[in-house]
Amino acid sequence: MFKQTLKLFRNMSSAAKGSNMLKDPSTKYIPYKTVDLPDRRWPNNRITKAPRWLTTDLRDGNQSLPDPMSIPEKKEYFRKLVELGFKEIEVAFPSASQTDFDFTRYAVENAPDDVSIQVLTQSREHLIRRTVESVKGAKKATVHVYLATSDLFRDVVFNMSRQDVIDKSVETTRFLRSLTKDDPNMQDTEWTYEFSPETFSDTPVDFALEVCEAVKREWEPTAEVPLIFNLPATVEVGPPNVYADQIEYFCRNISEREKVCVSVHPHNDRGCGVAAAELGVMAGADRVEGCLFGNGERTGNVDLVTLALNLYTQGISPNLDFSDMQSVIDVVERCNKIPIHARTPYGGSLVVCAFSGSHQDAIKKGFVKAEERMARGDTKWAIPYLPLDPKDIGRTYEAVIRVNSQSGKGGAAWVILRCMGLDLPRPLQVAFSGLVQAKADSLGRELKTAEITNLFKECYMCSEAAPISLSSFEVTSVKDASSPTKSRRIAATIVVNGKQEEIVGYGNGPVSAFVDAISNKVNILFEVVNYNEHSLGTGTEGKAATYIELSYLDENKAKTTQWGCGIDSDTSQASLEAILAIANKVIEKGEL
Ligand code: KIV
Ligand code: ZN
């Protein structure tokens, strides 16, 4: 028999080698079935509160790992889940291995009183017995039993009729009941029963209902401790609207709805797990099962981080705290040994970053407007391209705008503003962005923040190693000045290649007088084209930043300009530093 199966499998694989995708895939694949629900209500519903969450990272997630977690890893993960605020945690499949049994004991002994420890078991007596044993003494325990109900699984995997499935579900429920809520020695625990008609999304919904009604009759739940019916998309076989129809149909037709908690458990085979969960909740589900960042069998379970933060960005508290997103990523990556993709919603390293110039510009403008709104007491978040304030999940604004050769003036200007407190005038932003782009292009990669700030200093500020530096200066009024543009005299002591020199110049203020003095010194006529100044923010001890653009004729006698920037507590000193930075740059370029 085994040999025959192997031969068949080999034949199928060799046929597959020769052929590629079918011209007519309808000869091979069967489309999903729909539910007859013309008066569906879910499309008009809104989610207004967080559902109950069940994390199955330590069970469904762990079962799917190439290298399942060790006990220390499971403990670390468990602590993180508790810290995040999960109140229902599926910790293991205790009857499957000693490791899972032992970890369940740890979870039972260490769970806070308000956290329910959930364990999964197949519908077999000896496994159920061992499973119940594993949670003995828990304050709150949920025993989760599953049995596949789809035609495919009944026929192919279990060879069971519909009646067999109903009988087995009832029998299992009766047995579990006798070991838990009906056992006088087990009354210290609040027992919850979860029953999953596995492969629900591929099961005719009337049959799933029939099974669940039979289970409910046997368990006799109360409104205080409802019976959980988990309706899994074990394999996501159809679009999320069809799953929502199935959930709404179930919710509208199950009897004693108040004694039932409807849970959804979407897997992500078609990439619609999050949509399926959200539409499922709109359709009436009370609870969602999934894993952090969508770990789980095949394409994963639904991503609980995305679901929670989708609610949060709608102004609804998810009752889970992702303030320190990085620590969550660290634990998940370390324990699962699978990296979180850079584009994963909310958590991915690149999702709060903008590289494109127009995006950066819009974000920068958004922050300026937001500050104005904040000053008027309006705290609402409205920043282009950023649905979530990165600060809320522990990310800094510096990380938002990153600079590569695709970035425009806004990106580099943002980095300089955030890191140096310098609010560059627009023409300087344009000039600097050209240099940044050229550098990013030549390196063929993104520039780090420090590389951008260093480039700015190199290009526009005086350095220790510059040929000319300023020692001191004195500005005096010129009596009887024949021209109003020469009403001030500056006498400055500069150091040129280590030697002190006095220079003198005239103008209508310190800036023009020093430009005159430097022009005479280096024998090139500089003229002021642009002048801007602003005080630096708090924590910079009342300093001012000055930006000056000077024009001059280069070695080919073509008119060109150069920017300089100076920072000092004295505005005049800052301006002279900016002018010297320009002169030094021109000297370094060899244009003198
Ligand atoms: O995906 C699934 O159907 C499951 C069951 C055990 C609920 O994980
Ligand atoms: Zn699952």
DSSP sequence for 316-341: ---S---SSHHHHHHHHHHHH--PPP
User: Would the CA dihedral through 243, 146, 141, 70 be positive or negative?
Assistant: negative
Q: Which of 196, 229, 299 to mutate to test the pocket of ligand 1 (most atoms within 8 A of CB)?
A: 196
The first and second tokens of residue 41, run together, are 């209500």
Query: Are 36-336 and 468-589 equal in CATH topology?
Result: no
pLDDT at 353: 87
pTM over the 0.95 mark:
no
Closest CA to 169 of 221, 239, 218: 218
Ligand 1 nearest-atom number relative to CA 146:
6
Pairing of strands 116-122, 140-148: parallel
pLDDT at 7: 57
Ligand 1 nearest-atom number relative to CA 301:
1
Among protein residues, the one whose CA lies closest to atom 8 of ligand 1: 60
Closest CA to 56 of 273, 293, 274, 289: 289
pLDDT at 539: 58
Q: How far is the CA of 69 from the centre of ligand 1 (A)?
A: 19
Fold for domain 36-336?
TIM Barrel (3.20.20)
- The ligand that comes nearest to the alpha carbon of residue 123 is 1
Sheet holding 499-507, edge to edge: 468-477, 488-496, 499-507
pLDDT at 226: 98
Ligand 1 nearest-atom number relative to CA 297:
1
DSSP-derived 3-state class of residue 468: strand
Q: Which of 120, 121, 195, 298 to mutate to test the pocket of ligand 1 (most atoms within 8 A of CB)?
A: 120
Taking the C-alpha atoms of residue 484 and residue 27, their distance in angstroms, rounded to an integer, is 93
Does 196 contact ligand 1 (Cβ within 6 A)? yes
pLDDT at 97: 93
Among protein residues, the one whose CA lies closest to atom 2 of ligand 1: 234
Number of CB atoms found within 10 A of residue 240's CB: 21
Ligand 1 nearest-atom number relative to CA 56:
8
DSSP-derived 3-state class of residue 474: strand
Closest CA to 563 of 441, 434, 443, 464: 434
Closest CA to 475 of 570, 583, 580, 578: 570
* 439, 404 Cβ separation under 8 angstroms: no
Ligand 1 nearest-atom number relative to CA 199:
3
Does 234 contact ligand 1 (Cβ within 6 A)? yes
The first and second tokens of residue 304, run together, are 């609980």
Does 268 contact ligand 1 (Cβ within 6 A)? no
CA dist list (Å): 431 to 428, 468, 544, 562? 5, 24, 21, 9
Number of CB atoms found within 10 A of residue 542's CB: 8
Could you read off the pLDDT tens digit of each residue along the chain, which spans 592 residues?
555 555 555 555 545 555 799 999 999 999 999 999 999 999 999 999 999 999 999 999 999 999 999 999 999 999 999 999 999 999 999 999 999 999 999 999 999 999 999 999 999 999 999 999 999 999 999 999 999 999 999 999 999 999 999 999 999 999 999 999 999 999 999 999 999 999 999 999 999 999 999 999 999 999 999 999 999 999 999 999 999 999 999 999 999 999 999 999 999 999 999 999 999 999 999 999 999 999 999 999 999 999 999 999 999 999 999 999 999 999 999 999 999 999 999 999 999 888 888 888 899 899 889 999 999 999 999 999 999 999 999 998 777 888 888 887 888 998 999 899 999 999 999 999 999 999 999 999 999 999 999 999 999 999 988 999 999 999 999 877 677 778 899 999 999 988 999 999 999 999 999 999 999 999 999 999 999 999 996 555 689 999 999 999 988 889 999 999 999 999 999 999 999 999 999 988 775 5
Q: How far is the CA of 81 from the centre of ligand 2 (A)?
A: 18
Ligand 1 nearest-atom number relative to CA 196:
7
Taking the C-alpha atoms of residue 547 and residue 533, their distance in angstroms, rounded to an integer, is 6
Burial class (CB in 10 A: 0-12, 13-18, 19+), 547: buried
* Superfamily (CATH) of domain 468-589: Alpha-isopropylmalate synthase LeuA, regulatory domain (3.30.160.270)
User: What are the tens digits of pLDDT across the range 566-577?
Assistant: 999 999 999 999
Q: How far is the CA of 183 from the centre of ligand 1 (A)?
A: 28
- The ligand that comes nearest to the alpha carbon of residue 146 is 1
Among protein residues, the one whose CA lies closest to atom 4 of ligand 1: 234
- The ligand that comes nearest to the alpha carbon of residue 296 is 2
Among protein residues, the one whose CA lies closest to atom 6 of ligand 1: 146
Q: How far is the CA of 237 from the centre of ligand 2 (A)?
A: 14
Ligand 1 nearest-atom number relative to CA 232:
3
Taking the C-alpha atoms of residue 303 and residue 301, their distance in angstroms, rounded to an integer, is 6
Does 146 contact ligand 1 (Cβ within 6 A)? yes
Does 198 contact ligand 1 (Cβ within 6 A)? yes
Burial class (CB in 10 A: 0-12, 13-18, 19+), 134: buried
Does 229 contact ligand 1 (Cβ within 6 A)? no
Taking the C-alpha atoms of residue 27 and residue 47, their distance in angstroms, rounded to an integer, is 40
Q: How far is the CA of 268 from the centre of ligand 2 (A)?
A: 10
User: Which parts of 114-234 fold into alpha helices (H)?
Assistant: 125-134, 151-152, 162-179, 205-219
Question: What distance, in Å, lies between the first and last C-alpha atoms of the chain?
Answer: 92
Among protein residues, the one whose CA lies closest to atom 3 of ligand 1: 234
Q: How far is the CA of 287 from the centre of ligand 1 (A)?
A: 14
> Would you list the domain boundaries of the chain?
36-336, 357-459, 468-589
Among protein residues, the one whose CA lies closest to atom 5 of ligand 1: 198
Q: Which of 153, 193, 234 to mutate to test the pocket of ligand 1 (most atoms within 8 A of CB)?
A: 234
Q: Which residues, in sequence order, are bridge partners of residue 123?
A: none
Q: Which of 56, 267, 287, 302 to mutate to test the pocket of ligand 1 (most atoms within 8 A of CB)?
A: 267
Q: Which residues, in sequence order, are bridge partners of residue 43?
A: none
- The ligand that comes nearest to the alpha carbon of residue 199 is 1
Taking the C-alpha atoms of residue 269 and residue 282, their distance in angstroms, rounded to an integer, is 21
Percent of the chain having pLDDT more than 90?
85
Ligand 1 nearest-atom number relative to CA 120:
6
Calculate ∠ Cα 328-332-337, nearest 5°: 150
Does 123 contact ligand 1 (Cβ within 6 A)? no
* 296, 283 Cβ separation under 8 angstroms: no
Does 60 contact ligand 1 (Cβ within 6 A)? yes
